[in-house]
Amino acid sequence: MQTYLVVRRSAWASKQAQQAADERSDAQAARMVNDIESIRSYVLEECDRTLGSVCVFVASSPEAVRRHAAAADLPVDEIVRVANAGAAR
């Protein structure tokens, strides 16, 4: 299992839409317990006032992250593998 950051830019027009996406994400992660675990999400306020997010997942592969997003109807702009997960500064 590796740690990944998932970037979703300007994905939602409202807080309600973003919260509904969180619920879909959580439900799908519960179905994929052997492949993915949601660690933390940060909601971003974009310049155009839409909302995006950066989410931290532990997953078996980037493909598992993509399958999770597709099943939860979530956009994925970028998936980045974290090189130093758990390392202290």
Residue 82, classed as helix, strand or coil, is coil
1 CB-contact burial (10 Å; exposed 0-12 / middle 13-18 / buried 19+): middle
Structure confidence by residue, pLDDT tens digits, 46-69: 999 999 999 999 999 999 999 999
| Bigger pLDDT: 33 vs 88 | 33
HSE-CB of 10 using CA atoms within 13 angstroms: 4
Prediction pTM value: 0.88
Instruction: Domain ranges for the chain, please list them.
Output: 2-81
Architecture label for domain 2-81: 2-Layer Sandwich (3.30)
Residue 42: how many other CB atoms lie within 10 Å: 10
